[in-house]
Amino acid sequence: MKYRYANWQEYSKYIADDHYYYARSCIRQNFFPGSEKAFLDILRNDLGMDITEDPRHTTCTGIGYHSDVVPLETTMAIVARQFALMTECGYENYVASCITSFGIYSEVLDMWHHFPELEAKARENLFKATGREFHKPKILVHTSDLMFHVREKIAEKGVRRLVNAATGEPLKVVDHIGCHYAKVFPKKGIGGAEFPYVLAGMVEAWGGQSVDYPERRHCCGFGFRNYLVQANRGYSIANSKKKFESMAPYQPDFIVSNCPGCAMFLDRWQFTLNAMTGSNYAIPSLTYEEMAGLVMGIDPWDLGLQMHQVPVEPLLDKLGVQYDPAAKYLGKNGKFIGQPVAPAIYNPAAL
Amino acid sequence: MAQERILVIGGGVAGMQAAAALREEGFSPLIIERSSKTGGHVAQWDRLFPTQAPAQAVIDELSAASQGIESVTDCEITSLTAADGGVTAVSAGGDRYEGRAAVVATGFDLFDARLKEEYGYGMYENVITSAELEQMFRDGRVAMKSGEAPKRVAILHCVGSRDEKVGQNHCSKVCCITGIKQAIELTEAVPGVQVTNFYMDLRAFGNGYEELYRKSQVENGVTYIRGRISEAGETQDKRIQLKVEDTLVGRPLRMTVDMLVLLVGMRAPGCCSSFGLETQANGFFAPRDPYTGTVASSVPGVYLAGTATGPKTIGETINEAVAVARRIKRDLGE
């Protein structure tokens, strides 16, 4: 079935074809360590794009800012420094790997647009502290925007499609869009906030079927105050529970998210809910880079899929991916990296 | 002396009544209607608040009163100029119409509910507008897309009214009572149906409105919850899952209904920005004076009637349409 929101183009934005300065996420390399590498490998090596990064770049302060421990002026100065690094590298297009960073950059640029005195102050603070100056990016996109932009090229170069290798049926994919992607500025998200197309577009281009489930727009449970404050963590898992209850009847083959925390919480909380409530959730939760990596034929263990709580093997089998089960917990150097002591028993058939 | 021609732009109830009244005052009115027939929005309606009288009765009465009056249909006026003691209206097709004066009775457009994306109109098959529900009443069959009769229906007030996010800050005035009326009619059309109205304020301001509001609760069992629906989502069986906060008890709630009816508000039509007349903050034409000049525009020779100047009931519209003829008679006599 074709994605039914035919008017997603009403919310589209200009995405430059090439030459990007890349800013990593603070947490993604811990949560899903292969994703950012897969993004760079696919875009640079397979598609020949010019993406650069600077090891001097830091957090955008997003988590601290949204937790009220970093003041706005500090956030603006650090954002200014990120832009200064981009300027020093000779780039004008900025691609952020983290949804919250994308939200922070969008928000800061919007504030500077409406309150130029804030921009002047940020420039002054940055110069006093570091002697740096900067140009604002001409293009600001999230990495999922850029991957959406090249989705057809990936489809052309891919070695498989998101279909059941045995039946030829498209896999059913539920997506979850990070709140800071389009809920802050709907016009800055492909497809807007209500019927986002950025991930559904990739799913469709690569042969899968996007499923619009009722709680698609609901928070995944990663809301910063929901999990950073331990006493609030019940809110976090309650949100995730709503999501799983809503998507489970569609029997999705996997979840795909474009936010660092969403992919993590939608993966880990399934185990927790199963332990707490006796449910049997076992829906693999992928990042869009992991989804692209599978399409491009990257080895699942190079993609970091062994770091998922929910076993991905049933999905790999559906896709017809060849993998070495014995290599799952071996590092790139061949050494054993450890494995869960008591892996949860999942029963996808009971969904 | 030849009768003076007065252009009546718009053939809804305001235009029909204004034309009839102008003829009684001795003028020669010409109705110019953009659609294929006169009657406007009222002709699309089934029954009217607060008495549930058939809308067709109003149309029949006005048709009889305006019988024989010259009219042009399928003609959308795009510009209007007043000069040298006369007015000239030009249509999108380039046709020119001249008269001694003009009555702008261009009415309103219904708010496009697709702009409130969070309610899923145009996406979910069982999300409909109040106008579409009225069409179901006219057809004598209220049903979900599947053909089944709904068991639970939610009516959401203020869709495209009092909403800064979509640039519609004004109250559309008649939706509250329309929601009450339609809730009652739903219970009459579908025995056993459970109807819930979600509102932000209930403005039952007119004669008989409060009584109808009370009747709907006492006799028809209609439920009212103060709170705006934040989001609608479609379930696997094509029902609509709602998220809403009950702002009286201060708690969020979720419920699933078979059908969601959006009470779409009135918005200013495109001509409000192309006729060169002054407009109000809500986009509708501005009367010359909100107290004593409600049917005159700021341009001599150009007059206003009905919802061209903002949301109104049919009764108020008819009154203005009668008044505008009297006003023109007086002004031209001077």
Asked if residue A48 has pLDDT above 80, the reply is yes
> What are A119's two structure tokens?
């921009």
Nearest to B240 by CA among B250, B248, B229, B227: B229
Q: The domain containing residue B252 runs over which residues?
A: 113-264
- Structure-block tokens of residue B132: 């579409």
Distance CA A317, CA A166 (A): 9
Q: Do B182 and B285 fall within a single domain?
A: no
Percent of chain B with pLDDT over 90: 96
| pLDDT of residue B152 exceeding 80 | yes
pLDDT at A335: 94
How far is the C-alpha of B36 from the C-alpha of B74, rounded, in Å?
5
Last residue of a domain, one of B210, B238, B264: B264
Residue B191: how many CB atoms within 10 A of its CB?
A: 7
Residue A10: pLDDT band with limits 50, 70, 90: confident
Q: Looking at the structure, tell me whether residues B258 and B273 fall in a common domain.
A: no
What is the ipTM, given to two decimal places?
0.76
| A214·B241 Cβ contact <8 A | yes
- Mean pLDDT in residue range B54-60: 98
pLDDT at A6 over 70: no
Dihedrals phi, psi of B116, to nearest 5 degrees: -95, 75
Q: Which of A8, A194, A210 to mutate to test the interface with B (most CBs of B within 10 A)?
A: A194
pLDDT of residue A5: 56
Asked if B317 contacts B306 with a C-beta cutoff of 8 angstroms, the reply is: yes
Asked if residues A133 and A123 have their Cβ atoms less than 8 Å apart, the reply is yes
Which CATH number do you get for residue B125?
3.50.50.60
Flag whether the pTM goes above 0.95: no
Beta-carbon separation of B118 and A250 below 8 A: no
Cβ pair B20, B65 in contact under 8 A: yes
Nearest Cα of chain B lies from the Cα of A4 at a distance, in angstroms, of 7
Give chain A's mean pLDDT. Answer: 92
- A85: CB partners within 8 A, 6+ apart: A21, A54, A56, A57
Boundary residue ending a domain (B244, B264, B284) = B264
Q: How confident is the model at residue A341 (pLDDT cuts 50, 70, 90)?
A: low
| Averaged pLDDT, B203-225 | 97
Interface of A with B in 207-266 (CB under 8 A): 212-217, 246, 249-250
Taking residues A87-100, what's their average pLDDT? 97
How sure is the predictor about A342, in pLDDT bands with cuts at 50, 70 and 90?
low
pLDDT for B2 beyond 90: no
Whether residue B177 sits in one domain with residue B49: no
Q: Between A and B, how many CB-CB pairs are < 8 A?
A: 25
Q: Tell me: do B140 and B248 sit in the same domain.
A: yes
**A49, amino acid identity:** M
Q: How far apart are CA B324 and CA B285, in angstroms?
A: 15
Distance from CA of B201 to the nearest CA of A (A): 26
Q: Which of B264, B291, B311 represents a domain boundary (last residue)?
A: B264
Interchain contact, B233 vs A250, CB within 8 Å: no
**pLDDT of A192:** 87
Dist CA B137 CA B153 (whole Å): 15
Within B124-174, where are the H helices?
A: 130-139
What's the topology of domain A11-143? Glutathione S-transferase Yfyf (Class Pi); Chain A, domain 2 (1.20.1050)
B130/B156 same-domain check: yes
Considering only residues B237 and A11, tell me which one the structure prediction assigns the higher pLDDT. B237
pLDDT confidence tier of residue B84, bands split at 50, 70 and 90:
confident
pLDDT at A213 over 70: yes
B84/B168 same-domain check: no
Separation in Å, CA B64 to CA A101, A126, B6, B58, B60 = 67, 77, 20, 10, 6
Domain check: are B96 and B168 in the same one?
A: no
Closest by Cβ to A250, choosing from B114, B231, B236? B236
Residues of B in contact with A246 (CB under 8 A): 233
For residue B198, which of B166, B181, B172, B222 has the smallest C-alpha distance? B222
pLDDT in the model for residue A307: 92
In angstroms, what separates the C-alpha of B333 from chain A's closest C-alpha? 53
Model confidence at A345, pLDDT cuts 50, 70, 90, reads low
Q: How many angstroms separate the CA of residue B117 from the nearest CA in chain A?
A: 6
**What pLDDT shows up at residue A7?**
62
Could you tell me which residues are beta bridge partners of residue A93? A139
- Report the distance separating Cα A196 and Cα A257, nearest Å: 12
At residue A348 the predicted structure's pLDDT band, cuts being 50, 70 and 90, is very low
At residue B142, does pLDDT exceed 70? Answer: yes
A217·B234 Cβ contact <8 A: no
pLDDT category of residue A226 using cuts at 50, 70 and 90: confident
State the Cα–Cα distance between residues A241 and A258, nearest whole angstrom: 19
Checking if the pLDDT of B139 tops 90, the result is yes
Give the start-to-end residue ranges of the domains of chain A. Answer: 11-143, 150-350
- Among residues A72, A85, A62, the alpha carbon closest in space to that of A119 is found at A72
Q: Are B318 and B236 contained in the same domain?
A: no
| Average pLDDT of the residues in B68-89 | 95
> What pLDDT, in 10s, does the model give residues A159-205?
999 999 999 999 999 999 999 999 999 889 998 888 889 999 999 99
For residues B163-186, one letter each, b for 16 or more C-beta atoms within 10 angstroms of the residue's C-beta and e for the rest, the string is: beebebebbbbbbbbbbbbbbbbb
pLDDT 10s digits, B246-291: 999 999 999 999 999 999 999 999 999 999 999 999 999 999 999 9
pLDDT band of A351, cuts 50, 70, 90? very low
Same domain as B273, residue B147 = no
Convert B19-29 to b/e letters by CB count within 10 Å (16 or more is b). Answer: bbbbbebebbb
Which residues have a Cβ under 8 Å from the Cβ of A104 and sit 6 or more positions away? A60, A61, A62, A65, A75, A79, A180
pLDDT in tens, A250-273: 999 999 999 999 999 999 999 889
Question: How far is the C-alpha of A312 from the C-alpha of A325, rounded, in Å?
Answer: 11
Strand partners, A141: A95
Domain A150-350: top CATH class: alpha beta
User: Which helix (DSSP H) or strand (DSSP E) does residue B20 occupy?
Assistant: helix B13-24
pLDDT of res. B155: 98
Rounded to the nearest integer, the mean pLDDT of chain B is 96
Q: How many structural domains does chain B have?
A: 2
Contacts of A235 in chain B (CB under 8 A): none
**Are B92 and B59 part of one and the same domain?**
yes
